[in-house]
Amino acid sequence: MTRHIQDACSFVVFKVDDESDRKTFESKLISTISLCEKCRASDAWLGLRCTNRRVRKSGLWNDKELYKQPLSSADMARLSTLLV
């Protein structure tokens, strides 16, 4: 399974020193993905069998922070500085 995850998935890690900023980015990233029309789980995703309707609908295992405030242009600009 580890090999599959390494081969099939990509990850980005970035450091956010301030805890409040970290929580804000986490919330807005989750919201951005949950609001994305093109970002959907595959038909084989195990979460489609989850009893939590919000998990099934969003395609994300995390049901908190869904459908809230997405990343703004200013947030994206700030995020890009953290990725360098």
pLDDT in tens, 26-59: 999 999 999 999 998 999 999 999 999 999 999 9
Q: What is the model's pTM?
A: 0.82
When computed from its CA atoms, the radius of gyration of the chain, rounded to whole angstroms, is: 14
Q: Dig out the tokens for 37 from the structure.
A: 């029309």
Q: Structural domain boundaries of the chain?
A: 2-82
CB 62 within 8 A of CB 27: no
Beta carbons of 27 and 65 less than 8 angstroms apart: yes
DSSP 65: S
